[in-house]
């Protein structure tokens, strides 16, 4: 298994969050548009939470501490 660069891993999630926030909505209508926008919101939240995490190694486990307040 390749060595994990945790800082780079978290940075990729931060980059993904920014990409989701900056991308436009394709020309779709109705329910498909609503579903697409909802998915964008969830993707952004997921990526932003992981991207903002602090990490540590504890007993051989990668521990991510995700701030839940501003």
Looking at residue 69, what is its pLDDT?
78
Looking at residue 4, what is its pLDDT?
87
CA distance 41 to 8: 23
Q: Are 57 and 34 in contact (CB under 8 A)?
A: no
Looking at residue 1, what is its pLDDT?
53
Residue 20 lies in a domain: yes
Residue 56: which domain range? 6-65
Residue 70 lies in a domain: no
For tokens 């697409």, name the residue: 36
Looking at residue 68, what is its pLDDT?
86
Contacts of 37 (CB under 8 A, 6+ apart): 25
Average pLDDT over all residues of the chain: 92
CA distance 16 to 11: 9
Residue 1 lies in a domain: no
């Amino acid at each position: 298994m390749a060595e994990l660069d945790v800082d780079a891993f978290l940075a990729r999630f931060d980059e993904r969050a920014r990409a989701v926030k900056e991308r436009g909505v394709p020309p779709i209508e109705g329910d498909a548009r609503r579903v697409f926008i909802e998915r964008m919101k969830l993707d952004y939240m997921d990526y932003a939470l992981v991207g903002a995490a602090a990490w540590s190694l504890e007993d051989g486990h990668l521990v991510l501490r995700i701030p839940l307040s501003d």
